[in-house]
Chains A and B, each alone.
Chain A
Amino acid sequence: MAVLTIKNLAKTFNVGTPKASRVLDDISFDVRGGTFVSIVGPSGCGKSTLLNIISGVEEHTSGDISLTSDSGGPARMGYVFQDPRLLPWRSVMKNMMYVQNDRSEETVARARKYLDMVGLAKNADFFPGQLSGGMQQRVGIARAFAVEPDLLLMDEPFSHLDAITARGLRAQLQDIWAQSKKTVVFVTHDVVEAVELSDRIIVLQPGGRIYEDITIDLPRPRRQTDPTVATLQAEVLGRLEAMKTLSRTAAA
């Protein structure tokens, strides 16, 4: 069953003014429950705007979005941002609980479980300022999983981290996802990362239209060093290069 369905979605900033600019145009796709979908594309193609529209932070100009929940109630969302977005004056555990619906023992235990999964159980009483950037981002990831979301949105969560920390976190994310099987929409400009993590890659082109929808049918867990992963990465990169050439030609 589709958790997220998007039909003919468009977004124009500064509507009705001379500065009006369309960043998303005629976007339609759906995401089935338990799948990991990545949205890739060059800078400025509307990836983050699309995620913000799905999350409700941004409003869309036209089209439809629907979210469904297994529970029948309103769909619950988790969001991992580019930066950790933690309350600096609250401890790690209080940050985890800030976004929870209730304060039951079960919820606290779940928050602890995800902190433990990202290796930060011992740091529950620390303030975010006492953690490194990578550790703060791990709290952000644990927080998003701990709300038991119907849909988990991730906006280039590793882009601000150094390569080694990012690689470690990607592996950790794969492990947590394999256990929780949450539905994920993951925005990245890094094709290599997208192939490593996703079941499906949606490629956006400049102008905010879908260029291609690619299925990644590779066994998990995946590592960038696996030859099959590397081959597919090269193939997807090739398709993106072709798209860029096509866009440049069209622009010229």
Chain B
Amino acid sequence: MSTTMTPVKARRSTTEKEQETPAWKKRLTSDNAARVAALLSFFLFWVLMSALFERVPGPIEVVQRLVEEFQRGEVFGNFGMTLYRFGVGVALATVVGIAVGVIMGLSQLGRAFFESPVLVGLSIPAIIWSFLTVMWFGFGDLSPIITTFLTSVPFVIVNVAQGVRGVSRDLRDMSTTYNVPFSRRVRDLVLPAVTGYVAAGVRFAIIIGWNGVLLAEWFGGGGGVGYRARWWYDANRFGGFAAWVVLFVGFIVLLDRFVLDRVIQRAFRWRDASA
């Protein structure tokens, strides 16, 4: 009796698969292609909406208004003003947020003390803080700075506290056994362990904080991106309003992609090290 052997096809290695995939297919299925596709989709949606609705300014009108603002010399002064207020507010939120988050993560007493204020802070929206700070501090730099700080600091605290609570028990026990001083434990064990949580907290601070700064400028006047956006809004010219929003959102996106992303990659370079 004879048997028929079905030939078994040898399985290909990942290297072979990689070599067989054409370059155009690799490019089309890359992460960068997905990002470009998302941007293009958003842009097409914007064009479509502006074509359908008269009160939605299209990209060309927005660019025209932005050029006008540049020509009037309004951009650098106002943008710089907002950036200063935003930067100081986020920096303060980061420093205070890390300190309070570490205390909440390490100490039961600290957690009990800060838990309620942080919860209240999380539940108050940026618009309420902007009203309050304008009432308290008037039309200067202080209202937008404090609004940015107050809206973003609870998010940094919550993220950092969560990270500190997650620090490896084994490494903490090792530090206890060797009597490692508290300051060194915070610097060499706790802070590096919570870097990811700090980064997530700062990201939140930036995303939430810019709402705060723009709203405080919107209501408090005294110059800045929020002030100029309101100026165009009051003039019933939505192209100018949108131009300022696009400018600031664009800046936040670039800041996130080219600064924060790289800082995070550098902080986690030890993860890329493998045997």
Q: How far is the CA of A147 from the CA of B179 in the complex (A)?
A: 11
* A242 is an interface residue with CB less than 8 A from chain B: no
Indicate whether A234 reaches chain B with its CB closer than 8 angstroms.
no
User: How many B residues, CB 8 Å from partner?
Assistant: 21
Q: Is A246 an interface residue (CB 8 A)?
A: no
- Cβ 8 A contact of B174, one of A85, A88, A94, A129: A85
Count of A-B contacts judged by CB separation below 8 Å: 61
Among A78, A87, A126, A132, contact of B189 (Cβ-Cβ < 8 Å)? A87
Query: B173 contacts which chain A residues (CB < 8 A)?
Result: 52, 57, 85
Q: Does A56 contact B (CB under 8 A)?
A: yes
Cβ–Cβ < 8 Å partners of A77 in chain B: 177-179
The reply to whether the CB of A127 lies closer than 8 angstroms to some CB of chain B is yes
| Chain A residues whose CB sits within 8 angstroms of the CB of B25 once the complex forms | none
Q: Is the CB of A57 within 8 A of B177?
A: yes
Binary CB contact string for chain B from 179 to 209 against chain A (1 if under 8 A, 0 otherwise): 1100010001100110100000000000000
**Complex interface: chain A residues within 8 A of B184 (CB):** 98
In the complex, whether B1 has a CB less than 8 A from a CB of chain A is: no
Residues on B with beta carbons closer than 8 Å to the beta carbon of A81: 170, 174
Q: Which residue of A lies closest to B189 (CB)?
A: A87
Is A130 in contact with B274, judged by CB distance below 8 angstroms?
Answer: yes
Q: Are B178 and A79 in contact (CB under 8 A)?
A: yes
- Asked if A178 CB lies within 8 Å of chain B CBs, one says no
Size of A's binding interface in residues, CB under 8 A? 26
A148 contacts partner chain B, Cβ-Cβ < 8 Å? no
Cα distance A94–B180 when bound, in Å? 13
Q: Which of A198-225 contact B (CB under 8 A)?
A: none
Q: Does B49 belong to the interface (CB within 8 Å)?
A: no
Please state if B192 and A87 are interface contacts (CB–CB under 8 Å): yes
**What is the interface of chain B, defined by CB distance below 8 A to chain A?**
170-171, 173-180, 184, 188-189, 192-193, 195, 270-271, 273-275
Instruction: Looking at the assembled complex, report how far the CB atom of A137 sits from the nearest CB atom of chain B, in whole angstroms.
Output: 13
B178 adjacent to A99 (CB under 8 Å): yes
Give Cα distance in the complex from A85 to B273, angstroms: 17
A-B contact pairs, 6 of them (CB 8 A): A81-B170, A99-B174, A99-B180, A129-B271, A130-B275, A132-B275
- CB–CB A56/B177 < 8 A: yes
Q: Which residues of the other chain, A, contact B179 by a CB distance below 8 angstroms? A: 76-77
How far, in angstroms, from A85 to B175 measured CA to CA in the complex?
A: 10
A127–B178 contact, CB under 8 A? no
Other A-B contacts than A56-B177, A132-B275, 9 sampled, CB-CB below 8 A, are A55-B176, A55-B177, A77-B179, A79-B174, A85-B170, A87-B189, A88-B270, A127-B270, A129-B273
Chain B neighbourhood of A130, CB < 8 A: 273-275
Please report which residues of chain A, range 76-120, place their CB below 8 angstroms from some CB of chain B when the two chains form the complex.
76-79, 81, 83, 85, 87-90, 94, 98-99
A15 in the interface, Cβ–Cβ < 8 Å? no
Q: Is A126's CB under 8 angstroms from B273's CB?
A: yes
User: Considering only CB atoms, which chain B residue lies closest to A133 in the complex?
Assistant: B275
Decide: A57 near B176, CB < 8 A? Known: A85-B170, A98-B188, A127-B273: yes
Report A145-172 residues with CB < 8 Å from chain B CB: 147, 153
Inter-chain contacts of A88 with B (CB < 8 A): 270-271
